[in-house]
Amino acid sequence: MKRRSFVALASATTATTALAGAARAPAFAQASTYPDKPITIVVPAPPAGGTDLVTRLYSDLLSQELGVQVIVDNKGGGNGNIGTAIVARAKPDGYTLLMQYSAYHSANPALIKDLNWKPDDFVGVAMGAVAPHVIVVAKKVPVDDLKSFIAYAKANPGKLNYASVGAGSVPHLGGVLLNKAAGLDLIHVPYKGAGPATADTVAGQVELLIVTPPSVSAHIRSGNLKALALASGQRHPAFPDIPTTAEAGLPGFILDGWFALFAPAGTPQPIVDKLNAAMRKIGKMEAVVARANQLGTVLKDWTPAQMNDFAKGEVETWGKVIRDNKITFTE
């Protein structure tokens, strides 16, 4: 190679490397000073539901760990899509995060046509909590166990309602699967979150609700709701008297929900890692573990990669359930 050509090539290579380094520099500089202003965690559901409760389990402690204020911003409605879309469009700088409910992330892409976000718009940060679903009925329903409820519902086809936290939510899908598994004709009544769904079940406006324990644990303990079964493979230490669905006569009926922290795609990995480390540290605190158990949830010490792999699998699993059962958003 002629010296002039070699010098030109070397200069071009050096310039390209310098440009690439310059492009990366702002992200790394940003990550090294992160955070230096308040962080907002968007909750795509109303207050008092499971997503909100799990978010608040972490938010104050995150403020302490990160040294900045962590604001919880409830943006309910649209089956979780209003709040989710806000974060999908947010700047990927670690200052706008999403505490996502499993069904919003896993079911909406298969359930809703022309969705204004997609799972790839996010990167997993950490698992907040996993919660098996509990089947509860209003106090007025004249049953005390799952077998009796199934018999009662069969004797009253089309007359009993089940609440959900929104179309396509795990409680909605759980109701569809319960109808199918037990041969029932329960009517779906969607709500805009676990808070209002729980309130109407307590009031007796609807007969049954399948939901994560954080939303109803206090009502179970007070007797305002009757717990029929835990849709899990094993009993939870917080509710040792609630049988599993298999023990209650409905084997194979298992429903797990989860609440996980996500960031917009493109968020620098050092920021994701810093948030993950803070979440995992909090998740090991004795008081947090005790509170999570009290709420009926399970904490997971996962890396961002584990969170991403899990979320991807959930999108595939629940998408298949929706397609196989021809579930639509209007059900």
The 10s digit of each residue's pLDDT in 134-147 is 999 999 999 999 99
Tell me if 265 sits within 8 A of 157, measured CB to CB: no
Tell me if 170 sits within 8 A of 176, measured CB to CB: no
Q: 289-310 pLDDT, tens per residue?
A: 999 988 888 899 999 999 999 9
Cis previous bond, 213, omega within 30:
no
Are β-strands 187-190 and 161-164 bridged in parallel, bridged antiparallel, or unpaired?
A: parallel
CA angle 112, 118, 119 (to 5 degrees): 115
pLDDT of residue 331: 46
Q: What is the pTM of this model?
A: 0.77
Return all residues near 253 (Cβ < 8 A) that are at least 6 apart: 177, 178, 181, 231, 245, 246
CA-only gyration radius of the chain, Å: 23
pLDDT band for position 222 (cuts 50, 70, 90): very high
Task: Quote the CA–CA distance of 287 and 293 in Å, as a whole number.
Answer: 10
Closest CA to 186 of 200, 173, 196, 198: 173
pLDDT band for position 248 (cuts 50, 70, 90): very high
pLDDT of residue 169: 78
Return all residues near 223 (Cβ < 8 A) that are at least 6 apart: 139
Tell me if 105 sits within 8 A of 311, measured CB to CB: yes
Which tokens hold the place of 311? 């979320």
Q: At what angle do helices 50-66 and 286-295 cross, to 10 degrees?
A: 170
Task: Quote the CA–CA distance of 241 and 94 in Å, as a whole number.
Answer: 42
Burial of 246 (0-12, 13-18, 19+ CB in 10 A): middle
Give the max Cα distance, the chain. 93
Which tokens hold the place of 133? 């679903």
